[in-house]
């Protein structure tokens, strides 16, 4: 499943890079996927919305609907 999550992150990475940011896979434990937002995404006030409404929604649709995406900086 980790490989599927990483592949899904690669699919959405260009969208984040177009806005000057990026996303990195950190770890996965159970249904929790920990990622690191970098670049302009790291300090953006809308990053939590991007993470939940963009990244999490996409990964749930292509990998597993029970996954939860968490920003490493919010742990």
Confidence at residue 11, expressed as pLDDT on a 0 to 100 scale: 96
Residue 53: domain span: 2-74
10-residue mean pLDDT series, the chain (75 residues): 97 93 96 94 87 95 97 78
Confidence at residue 43, expressed as pLDDT on a 0 to 100 scale: 81
Q: How many domains does the chain have?
A: 1
Q: Give me 16's structure tokens.
A: 């984040």
Q: Is the CB of residue 28 less than 8 Å from the CB of residue 49?
A: no
Say if strands 68-71 and 21-29 run parallel, antiparallel, or are unpaired.
unpaired
CATH number of the domain encompassing residue 70: 3.30.300.130
Confidence at residue 73, expressed as pLDDT on a 0 to 100 scale: 78
């Amino acid at each position: 499943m980790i490989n599927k999550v990483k592949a899904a992150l690669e699919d959405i990475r260009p969208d984040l890079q177009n806005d000057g940011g990026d996303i990195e896979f950190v770890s996965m434990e159970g249904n929790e996927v920990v990622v690191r937002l970098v670049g302009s995404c790291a300090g953006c006030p809308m990053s939590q919305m991007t993470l939940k409404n963009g990244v999490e929604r996409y990964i749930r649709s292509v990998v597993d609907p029970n996954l939860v995406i968490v920003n490493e900086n919010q742990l």
